[in-house]
Every structure is written in C-alpha cells, then in structure tokens.
Amino acid sequence: MTSSMRPTPPAEPGVRGETLRRGLPGFVSLVGAGPGDPELLTLKAARRLAEADLLLYDGLVPTEITARATRAQHFCVSKRAGRPSVDQETIHQVMVRGARRGKRVVRLKNGDPFLLGRGGEEALALRAAGIPFEVIPGITAAVAAPALAGIPVTHRGLAAGFTVVSGHAPAAFEPILGAVAPGSMTVIVLMGLRNRGRVAETLLGRGWRPQTPAAIVLAASTPEMRVWTGRLDQLGIAPLDASAGAPGTIVVGEVAYLSTLVGGTPARTLTAAAVAQPERTLERVGKQGNV
C-alpha cells in the first residue's frame, strides 16, 4: 500500500464523530493483540478498541482485552485446529460490509496481524474492495513467549538468527525445517503442539543432535503460563496438558537451555529428566562471537 493510496487514519478520541459523518466511508484497523497480557497491548491498539463500533476477534484473545471495546458489537471469528471456525471469506465480507455502513471496524488478532495471522489476506481484500484501513502491529508470541521464559531467540555465540514456522500441518513446516542446517539458528514453531513429535522427527532427520535443548511455552504472559524444558528427542513426549486449548510456542536450539539460567516470568515449570549437555552450551556462551 503506497503512501499515495493510504487513507487518513481515524481521528483520535474526542473527535470520534468526524470519521462517521454522513457520506464518508468507515475504516478498518487490523490490530495485533500481543501474546495475551493486556498490559502488553500497544497504546494505539487500546485506543482503536475504545473507538470501535464493530469488533471481530480471534478466539485466543483474552476477554480482558476485548472488554476494552466498550461501544462495539463483538463477534468471535476464531480459527482453531479441530474446532468449528468462521470461513476467511466470511470475515472479509463482514469487515467490508461494516466499513461500508460507516463503522469503525477492528479486526483483532492474537500476536501480530502479519505473522501467521492472515493479516495480509485481509489487507488485500480490503484494498480490493476500496475500504480504507491501517495495520497496527502487535508483540508476537514468537519472540515474547521465549523471552518471558528466559530464552533470547538470538544470543552471541549460540544463535545469530531464528526462523518461525507454522506447526499446524507437516506440509507447512517440513519443507522449511528440512532446509535448516542443524544448529544453524533457533527454530520457533507456533500452533504446533499437536505436531511437536513430527517437528522433532523432521529436525532429527535433518541431522540435528538429539541432545539439542528444546522448550515449550504454554499460555505465555498469562497467569496460566507453563514452561517445559528438555531435549529435542523428548519433544514429542513432553508431558503437556494441551487439552485446555492454551496456545503454545516451541523453541529448539542452544538458546533454549538459557531458560534454566536466566529464569523469566514466574511460571510452573515442567522440566525433562535431563537437559542436553549444558556444559557445551555454557562453553559457547562464554566465547566471543559475531552475533
């Protein structure tokens, strides 16, 4: 979206009616809700929620965040694996229809709208329909969840980069993980709890060491947050209670061991019997690197 085609964003609080004058179109905000903690919501996101007339939110967004949209109609448009979900085209239609009726529409997504959230598809649909919109980034769980567990996704001497993949289906992650050289970077898997065993098999098949540190962060930034740490070859049998539907973030790489050293946000810890070769990781941490 070029600057010449970008519409003027909604007015700030106190002049709300200016964007809803008769004859003027509505406006859509594609908003990132962050990892779950309402205090990690951006100021602009909170402002748009307070201004909203129509709120379309993902199922993982906590009620403490959706409750900020006090004036809006609320509709859950959740997409969760194995559960009934709203068709993506229907979401597009509802956003467009609401905006054409002069409403301020907020499409609220867990994490960041442009990271595995179909935000790009929704932006294209809005542009094709001639609807003015904006994108408000959010803190992604791909970085926030490891950080809250005491895991930096990059660390001098351990990892100079990271890759983020969707774990919802092997067809989505296997081609990417199969191309990642063993130990070359940190691997972050979102929406992959059900397929964590297959993720481990893929990396092991690529030549990753069975002893590579791994971690799983459940319900990051919420009071229910839990952290499992162990080895890559234990990832598939990690004793997790995923039945409650809590979102999970998988971390694989030497940096995962730092969770035991750095700590992080207080959380119930589920640690495997043996975490791989901490002396190797500690040795590498102590070395100078170009990271």
The most distant pair of C-alpha atoms in the chain lies apart, rounded to whole Å, by: 68
Catalytic member of 95, 185, 191, 225 = 191
The dihedral built from the CA positions of residue 86, 216, 180 and 260, taken in this order, carries a sign that is: positive
Look at residue 77 and give its three-state secondary structure: coil
- Which of 259, 126, 109 lies closest to 191, judged by CA? 109
Catalytic member of 37, 58, 112, 233 = 58
Catalytic member of 79, 95, 112, 233 = 79
* 191 in active site: yes
Contact indicator for 122, 95 with CB cutoff of 8 Å: yes
The arrangement of strands across the sheet holding 226-231 comes to 162-166, 186-190, 248-252, 213-218, 226-231, 268-271
* 58 in active site: yes
Contact indicator for 95, 125 with CB cutoff of 8 Å: yes
| Residues shown for the chain | 291
CA dist., res. 244 & res. 191, Å (int):
14
Amino acid at 114: F
Tokens 């964003």 found at: 9
Tokens 């069975």 found at: 210
Question: Which residues are identified as catalytic?
Answer: 58, 79, 191
